[in-house]
Structure 1
Amino acid sequence: MHLPMAEDSGHIELDGDVIRYASTTYSDWMIRVEDLRIIGEATNQNGPFADDYFLCFATGPSMWYEASFYADGRDTFLADLGARLGITFQLGLSLSTDFASRILWPAELENEPMFKFQDVPSKTVVGRLLGSMRNEQTYCDRVLDALQK
């Protein structure tokens, strides 16, 4: 299991009506709770050398924010945000070592995939021989439909 240092993975908190994420490795961001449309979790193949598990916050059809699952303050944040939304978050991808995603909120989309992952073919001969080295992450169709309403 991958357990990075908390300072590498950042810090997340619910500060009144705002979710704040700060990290020296990943982008800092803040979003208002009222702007949340979908909350999910996603994993990738980066472990054990880099963070491979993320909390994902969709605000619209063209934007989502990610915070490392390993961020300092995660448990308190999830409890506080869950209380605010009237739910208890049930994380379920902690054993995943591949590309996977799952919606945590809202209830009508819970447990459905949040993202689809597609290998991007290499444009070089060597790259084609070695296989795809990049993966593209986009919203699943159902999520995109929900966000466009």
Structure 2
Amino acid sequence: MLIMNDEHLFWALPLWRFVIDNGKEMCTLMDFSVMGPFVFHFIKRNYQQALWAQGLSRHSRDEIQEIIRKDLEAISRYLGQKPYLMGDTVTEVDCALFGVLAQFLWALSCSPFRNIIQKDFQNLERYCERIKNTFFSDWDDLLEK
């Protein structure tokens, strides 16, 4: 599960942010006004190189979406109706997975990954809500600041 998270799911985040979306959504949330274009271009170029070396960006968009869909399906099936991946207790794997899935759900509002989770794998959305409400009860308050 951790390998899937680290080798596929995680890399879908910068792939969406810097390559597919070209930073549009991210730039509306962050202030790049001081050295904006230069800094963003530098970050984007570094991620493009890393994504090519990692291998995910060597696939077509449809292939990438299918890879991520299959990963999400595997996690969804494994989770089933359990509160956490290993049962009733949160583990390191839950924490790592939450870090990525939470970004799919709440930080990439325009991405297809969010739509896939919300449409086809609602148990993953409930799983993330459960972790958020249990361990980050001040989440919404902090986002308003």
Which TM-score band applies after superposition, normalised by the shorter structure?
Answer: under 0.3
The structure where helix makes up a greater share of residues is: 2
The structure where strand makes up a greater share of residues is: 1
- RCO higher in 1 or 2 (8 Å CA, sep ≥ 6)? 2
TM-score w.r.t. the length of structure 2 is 0.26
TM-score w.r.t. the length of structure 1 is 0.26
